[in-house]
A and B are shown apart, each in its own frame.
Chain A
Amino acid sequence: MKVMNMVQAINDALDVMLSKDKMVVTYGEDVGVEGGVFRVTEGLQTKHGAQRVFDSPLAESAIAGTALGMAVAGMKPVIEMQFDGFVYPAMNQILSHIARFRNRTRGKFAAPLVIRIPYGGGINALEHHSESPEAYFGHTPGLKVVIPSTPYDAKGLLISAIEDPDPVIYLEPKRIYRAIKQEVPEDYYSIPLGKAKVLSAGEQLTVIAYGAMIREAQKAIAQAKQKGYSVELIDLRSIYPLDRDTIRESVRKTGRVLIVTEAPQSYGPAAELMAIVNEEAFLNLEAPPTRLTGFDTVIPLPLGEKYYLITPGRIFSEIERIIKY
């Protein structure tokens, strides 16, 4: 075991898989010599060579489109979109081809590749550097969407994503890249995709979240605990496939649910989660399911982010309101 932050854990997962499988390659903008703008791929080119860890020309559609070609020809590309807002030029390749290749060819070809995207706000960045685009991918048939919240999960989930026979969008909550340190095994291990994790058990209310919102929720739940409230926290870890069973079990027990996502509200992941809560636990509900999400606005530039980003205070306030409902 070694203490790692999320950047180191993802780097370690890539290193493990590059060592394990010769067909794994990783590329994108500044991924090679520089080791990525967040240093996630640091040292990998030196260790695995410039044919396997490399800088591509600057064109996101081409990064995604060529990865599909490689995957079809038997390789295992793990590509990086430098920032969340830079993935949009690649959407045609992802939505029109990567997500559909298995279905289009009736399984003759598939697109087993991973698209890594640092995502979310809270890092005082420029426009297009702080977005939460997960709904676009979760809404697209044929994609898996994985979002870790801890270094340990980040490594195990990325290894599973690379070994998965289908395309995986792997969203990295960049705001907590270096915020959490944890003991992480240095060897190979995997965490199955599509399985949520109950981070803390509780009786009165279920909080459902993922990614960077987990840490904010944990702070709010600690505050709630001091006030004597018993709150359960579910980390989804994957928004497609979604762990319906864990949600059902928890909400049937607590009867109250708060969903926290940074993504804008309308038609977003929280809406899907609320629908599932209603389908699965309607008769057990003691209060209307509630969502705390980003606004239907462009995420503001750094000086305005304080109004947009969901704080532990707001989460706590909702927890208390719902429990008292």
Chain B
Amino acid sequence: MFNQDSLDKYKALDNQMFSLIDAEGKPLDNKWKPELSQEDIVQAYKDLLFERTADQMAVSYQRQGRMFTYPPNLGQEAIHIAAGRVIKEEDWLVPAFRELGAWLAKGVSLKEIFLYFKGNEDGSRFVKAKRMLPVSVPIASQLLHAVGIGYAMNYTGEKAAVFAFVGDGGTSEGDFHEALNFAAVWKVPVVFIVQNNQFAISVPLSMQTRSVNLAVKGIAYNVPSLLVDGNDLFAMYEALSYARRQAMEGKGPFLIEARTFRMGAHTTSDDPTRYRSREEEELWAAKDPLKRLKSYMAAYLNYDFSTEEQLISDYKKTIDLEFAAAENYPEYKLDDVFAYMFQEMPAELKRQKNSLENYLKQTGGAK
């Protein structure tokens, strides 16, 4: 189990990365036993497979013109699945936008995610997901919300942690630094997860920072910080579990740099061939988190992978049903534009709404 000694061993300042299995799925320490049970590992594998399938289908729906811009998750799923297992119902999830598997674990439906990327705010209602904030587009700004929620958890005495995501580019934003500083001063139960996928759209990490890694950015603020192999589901699970335990014990915030690679595009509007090499992509493809997990399972679990094709085929049916539900969602109403600006609609907004309603009435809904 990851503990204080492990934290002392994997020093971010020495650029030591916490990893438990190698690229071939072989444990780096032969005495290591996973914290996850065999059933949990199998379920994590299935969840990862589901996330990947849903993600790939989302990209194809977008390509078919049935959805607007979508940010693919390919290559980063181990972080999401590990986080999804660690984040409890009472915990808060403060997302950036590329954490699909963690969202699903929190209770967000694929229908809602598709609806959002089809251009309907109703996709951010998250009807069944408790304590989950919506997508935050302005980079790193959401980390401050997490710190405020953390203050509220301390204030009310609730035993709950806050998990907040940001990308590598986000670590250049002032809000990232303000959030770490406030979190440390206020000693809030917030776990910051930096998904370092090497590129902020097209800008490589080398042009983002001269820091030896991103975890070190927490150290000056006295936030315990750890560099983790983000493509190693076991390492991510153990690091996040440790961070949550620390938060629950009132020890304050924790920062994890999850080192990974975005194997797809930034969004469906992006073309990565413009800014990165095939060699780099191949290097990371060899460290694919799904492949690594399967190699481990093949060697240590005697799991029968012959059902994988059937699993994927079943998943695709489920995902298609969710997409159909998003496509058949009731039409966007004029009311929806105005109804949620304030709890009670001010007279001025009613007046503006009426002017459009009257026009539509007079013209029979013509443009």
User: Interface on A for B, CB 8 Å cutoff?
Assistant: 25, 51, 56-57, 59, 61-62, 64-75, 77, 89, 92-93, 96-97, 102-110, 141-142, 144, 165-166, 194, 240-242, 244
> Which of B144, B153, B175, B179 interacts with A73 by CB under 8 Å?
B153
* Bound Cα distance from A241 to B350, whole angstroms: 12
Tell me, rounded to whole Å, the shortest Cβ–Cβ distance linking B325 to chain A: 17
Determine the main DSSP class of A at the interface with B: mixed
Instruction: Tell me whether A166 and B145 are in contact in the complex, defined as CB-CB below 8 angstroms, given that A69-B150, A106-B125 are known contacts.
Output: no
* A-B pairs with beta carbons under 8 Å apart, 24 shown: A57-B178, A59-B181, A61-B178, A62-B178, A64-B144, A65-B145, A65-B175, A69-B145, A69-B149, A69-B150, A69-B151, A70-B149, A70-B152, A72-B145, A92-B141, A104-B124, A106-B125, A108-B125, A142-B342, A144-B342, A165-B343, A165-B344, A241-B346, A241-B347
Tell me, rounded to whole Å, the shortest Cβ–Cβ distance linking B137 to chain A: 8
Determine if B145 and A68 form an interchain contact, defined as CB atoms under 8 angstroms apart: yes
Q: Does B182 contact A (CB under 8 A)?
A: yes
Chain A residues in 8 Å Cβ range of B348: 240-242, 244
Chain A residues in 8 Å Cβ range of B126: 105, 108
Determine if B144 and A93 form an interchain contact, defined as CB atoms under 8 angstroms apart: yes
Chain B residues in 8 Å Cβ range of A165: 342-344
Q: Other CB < 8 Å A-B pairs besides A62-B182, A106-B336, A241-B348, 17 of them?
A: A25-B155, A61-B144, A61-B175, A65-B144, A66-B148, A67-B148, A70-B148, A70-B151, A72-B145, A73-B148, A73-B153, A75-B151, A92-B141, A104-B134, A106-B124, A144-B342, A244-B348
* Bound Cα distance from A56 to B152, whole angstroms: 15
What is the size category of the interface that chain B forms with chain A? 35 or more
Determine if A75 and B175 form an interchain contact, defined as CB atoms under 8 angstroms apart: no
Determine if A103 and B121 form an interchain contact, defined as CB atoms under 8 angstroms apart: yes
Determine if B340 and A106 form an interchain contact, defined as CB atoms under 8 angstroms apart: yes
Tell me, rounded to whole Å, the shortest Cβ–Cβ distance linking A191 to chain B: 16
Determine if B343 and A166 form an interchain contact, defined as CB atoms under 8 angstroms apart: yes
Chain B residues in 8 Å Cβ range of A105: 121, 124-126, 133-134
Chain A residues in 8 Å Cβ range of B150: 69
User: What 1/0 flags go to B29-59 for Cβ under 8 Å of A?
Assistant: 0000000000000000000000000000000
Determine if B147 and A66 form an interchain contact, defined as CB atoms under 8 angstroms apart: yes
Q: 8 closest pairs, A vs B, by CB?
A: A69-B148, A65-B144, A73-B152, A66-B148, A62-B178, A69-B145, A241-B346, A165-B343
Chain B residues in 8 Å Cβ range of A64: 144
Q: Does B122 contact A (CB under 8 A)?
A: yes
> Which of A59, A73, A241, A244 interacts with B178 by CB under 8 Å?
A59
Instruction: Tell me whether A102 and B141 are in contact in the complex, defined as CB-CB below 8 angstroms, given that A57-B181, A61-B178, A75-B152 are known contacts.
Output: no
User: What 1/0 flags go to B144-179 for Cβ under 8 Å of A?
Assistant: 111111111101100000000000000000110011
Q: Does B283 contact A (CB under 8 A)?
A: no
* Bound Cα distance from A258 to B181, whole angstroms: 48
Chain A residues in 8 Å Cβ range of B175: 61-62, 65, 92
Determine if A66 and B145 form an interchain contact, defined as CB atoms under 8 angstroms apart: yes
Tell me, rounded to whole Å, the shortest Cβ–Cβ distance linking A262 to chain B: 23
Chain A residues in 8 Å Cβ range of B182: 56-57, 59, 62, 66
Determine if B141 and A97 form an interchain contact, defined as CB atoms under 8 angstroms apart: yes
User: What 1/0 flags go to B4-15 for Cβ under 8 Å of A?
Assistant: 000000000000
> Which of A66, A102, A103, A194 interacts with B144 by CB under 8 Å?
A66
Tell me, rounded to whole Å, the shortest Cβ–Cβ distance linking B317 to chain A: 29
Tell me, rounded to whole Å, the shortest Cβ–Cβ distance linking A73 to chain B: 3
Chain B residues in 8 Å Cβ range of A77: 148
Chain B residues in 8 Å Cβ range of A241: 346-348
User: What 1/0 flags go to B179-192 for Cβ under 8 Å of A?
Assistant: 10110010000000
Tell me, rounded to whole Å, the shortest Cβ–Cβ distance linking B101 to chain A: 21
Tell me, rounded to whole Å, the shortest Cβ–Cβ distance linking A164 to chain B: 8
Determine if A69 and B343 form an interchain contact, defined as CB atoms under 8 angstroms apart: no
Determine if B148 and A65 form an interchain contact, defined as CB atoms under 8 angstroms apart: yes
Q: Which of B122, B152, B336 has the most CB of A within 10 A?
A: B152
* Bound Cα distance from A70 to B146, whole angstroms: 9
